[in-house]
């Protein structure tokens, strides 16, 4: 009976355990750092611009509204990062790429850890620089991790292994959020940011170990990096190459649409959360602690979903069914918030949204990339995860600020825009589900015969 249950929820074969546990630990470290940085950067921005409102084109934006401008800044930086990412992918093996990014972020953590307790004194430039750094960590390191993982697994392996791989991420989220929620007042922001240096170094070590082990075990698999590849002097513009791959594939366009719609919906929910927190919580540390508490709750729910649902649903039913959990949950949460717009309920709505996104939705969405080419896994995926994601956030910023300035005065009525987006989201998921099954069937024999 125990063996039967194990196969239902975590059907990992003996030779796959080192890869599964290695990737799970890697993802744990990435998300733990994310949840250390996120509440600190959000609390910093909301508090700073609450005291020093931002003036943009005649608008006076404070707190949560000013944070929306930060999302536009993130998109501009992300576009540059997409070009850099594509340029590096052409020149370096996948594990070297990860080591390079870890080195860059390690240097940034050292700088910000030394100045963050006085960063408000540097004005808007200091506050925005840390906010963007925290956001780009998520953009780059999560995208790089999943490109790395998708390069090492087939669709069948993804459906079996990504449950435990994703579990590492949700446990990491719980640990990171718990650290901030419980220790930010005692240890201070500086110590927490400097502490991120250790897991960043461990990520680099893990990536090299996983890469070398898998190349020894499977020297002929298609995902082996071309470390001796000759560069084409007439290669395409690094900023545009990933975008061209996406535009030339209905399948990749579908993935981009799902991600873009989710980001718009999620940012509306996030804006509602920030507005309610700004209205009802006055102290900066209390705000950071509350965001950390929301992160804790998100991670606990994510752990339960990842343990009990992700692999089971993806194996027993399909990736399409797994992808439908999130939009249906958001629909329920949106209706609830319209009826009960309190701090407790907006926190509950945010937890419901993020818990499913970080667990079952993340694993299912990333599995969609397994039956794609290596260029699509790295270049197209980086364009989608870095640029399309941020562009969708900017679109939601325009929507949020436009509606609150011109039409809506109560945060809950922003939820009405979500309903329209949900219809399109579900429609695209149905298309992707069919395409994924077709591609997976064609991809498995080729991978097995390599």
List of domains in the chain: 10-223+238-448 (1.20.1250.20)
In sequence order, the 6+-apart residues with CB closer than 8 A to the CB of 419 are 331, 334
User: How many alpha carbons lie under 13 Å from residue 32 in its C-beta half-sphere?
Assistant: 22
**For the purposes of burial, counting CB atoms within 10 Å of the CB of 238, is it exposed (0-12), middle (13-18) or buried (19 or more)?**
middle
Q: How many CA atoms lie less than 13 Å away from 296 in the CB half-sphere?
A: 11
How far is it, in rounded angstroms, from Cα 55 to Cα 73?
15
Three-class secondary structure of residue 218 per DSSP: coil
DSSP for 294-315 reads HHHHHHHHHHHHIIIIIHHHHH
- Determine how many CB atoms are found less than 10 A away from the CB of residue 225: 18
Cβ-Cβ contacts under 8 Å for 229 (sequence gap 6 or more): 90
At residue 61, φ and ψ (nearest 5 deg) are -115, 125
* Strand-pair partners of 55: 60
Residue 320: CB partners within 8 Å, gap ≥ 6?
429, 430, 432, 433, 434, 436
Do the Cβ atoms of 403 and 65 come closer than 8 Å?
A: no
Residues 6+ apart with CB under 8 A from 335: 415
| CA distances from residue 240 to 85, 231, 355, 380, 383 in whole angstroms, order as listed | 12, 17, 33, 10, 9
To the nearest 10°, the Cα dihedral for 121, 122, 125, 128? -50
Per-residue pLDDT of the chain (450 residues; tens, 9 = 90+): 445 545 555 567 677 778 889 999 999 999 999 988 988 888 788 778 877 777 766 667 676 677 777 777 777 787 777 778 778 877 777 788 899 999 999 999 999 988 887 766 677 888 888 988 988 898 889 888 988 887 887 767 777 787 788 888 878 877 887 777 666 666 778 888 999 999 999 999 999 999 888 877 776 554 444 444 444 544 555 567 888 899 999 999 999 999 999 999 988 888 878 777 877 776 766 776 777 778 778 878 888 888 888 878 887 788 899 999 999 888 887 777 778 777 777 777 788 888 888 788 888 898 899 888 878 888 888 889 878 887 888 888 788 777 777 666 676 777 788 888 988 999 999 999 999 988 887 765 444 444
Which H or E run contains 228? Answer: none
Tokens representing 95 are: 């594990």
C-beta of residue 381 within 8 angstroms of C-beta of residue 146? yes
Q: What is the DSSP letter of 56?
A: E
CA 216/CA 219 separation, integer angstroms: 6
Q: Residue count of the chain, please give it.
A: 450
Phi-psi region of 58 (alpha: psi -120 to 50; beta: other; left: phi over 0): left
């Amino acid at each position: 009976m125990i063996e039967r249950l194990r196969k239902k929820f975590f059907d990992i074969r003996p030779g796959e355990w080192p890869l599964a546990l290695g990737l799970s630990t890697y993802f744990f470290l990435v998300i733990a750092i994310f949840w250390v940085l996120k509440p600190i950067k959000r609390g910093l921005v909301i508090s700073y611009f609450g005291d020093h409102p931002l003036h943009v084109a005649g608008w006076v934006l404070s707190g949560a509204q000013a944070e929306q401008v930060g999302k536009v800044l993130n998109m501009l930086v992300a576009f540059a990062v997409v070009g850099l990412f594509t340029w590096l992918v052409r020149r370096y093996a996948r594990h070297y790429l990860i080591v390079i990014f870890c080195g860059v972020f390690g240097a940034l953590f050292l700088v910000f850890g030394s100045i963050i307790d006085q960063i408000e004194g540097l004005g808007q430039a200091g506050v925005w620089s840390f906010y963007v750094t925290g956001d780009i960590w998520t953009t780059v390191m999560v995208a790089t991790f999943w490109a790395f993982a998708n390069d090492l697994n087939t669709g069948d392996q993804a459906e079996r292994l990504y449950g435990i791989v994703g579990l590492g991420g949700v446990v990491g989220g719980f640990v990171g959020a718990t650290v901030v929620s419980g220790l930010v007042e005692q240890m201070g922001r500086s110590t927490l940011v400097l502490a991120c240096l250790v897991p960043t170094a461990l990520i680099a070590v893990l990536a090299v170990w996983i890469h070398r082990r898998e190349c020894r075990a499977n020297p002929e698999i298609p995902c082996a990096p071309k470390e001796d590849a000759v560069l084409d002097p007439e290669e395409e513009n690094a900023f545009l190459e990933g975008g061209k791959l996406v535009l030339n594939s209905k399948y990749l366009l579908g993935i981009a649409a799902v991600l873009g719609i989710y980001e718009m919906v999620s940012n509306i929910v996030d804006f509602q959360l920030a507005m309610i927190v700004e209205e009802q919580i006055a102290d900066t540390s209390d705000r950071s602690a509350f965001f950390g508490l929301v992160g804790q709750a998100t991670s606990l729910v994510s752990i339960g979903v990842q343990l009990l649902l992700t692999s089971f649903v993806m194996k027993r039913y399909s990736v399409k069914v797994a992808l439908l959990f999130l939009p249906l949950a958001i629909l329920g949460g949106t209706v609830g918030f319209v009826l009960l717009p309190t701090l407790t309920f907006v926190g509950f709505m945010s937890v419901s949204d993020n818990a499913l996104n970080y667990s079952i939705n993340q694993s299912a969405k990333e599995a969609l990339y397994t039956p794609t080419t290596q260029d699509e896994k790295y270049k197209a995926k980086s364009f989608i995860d870095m640029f399309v994601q941020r562009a969708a956030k900017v679109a939601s910023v325009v929507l949020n600020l436009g509606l609150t300035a011109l039409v809506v005065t109560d945060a809950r009525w922003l939820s009405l825009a979500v309903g329209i987006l949900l219809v399109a989201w579900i429609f695209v998921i149905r298309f992707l589900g069919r395409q994924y099954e077709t591609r997976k069937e064609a991809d498995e024999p080729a991978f097995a015969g390599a």
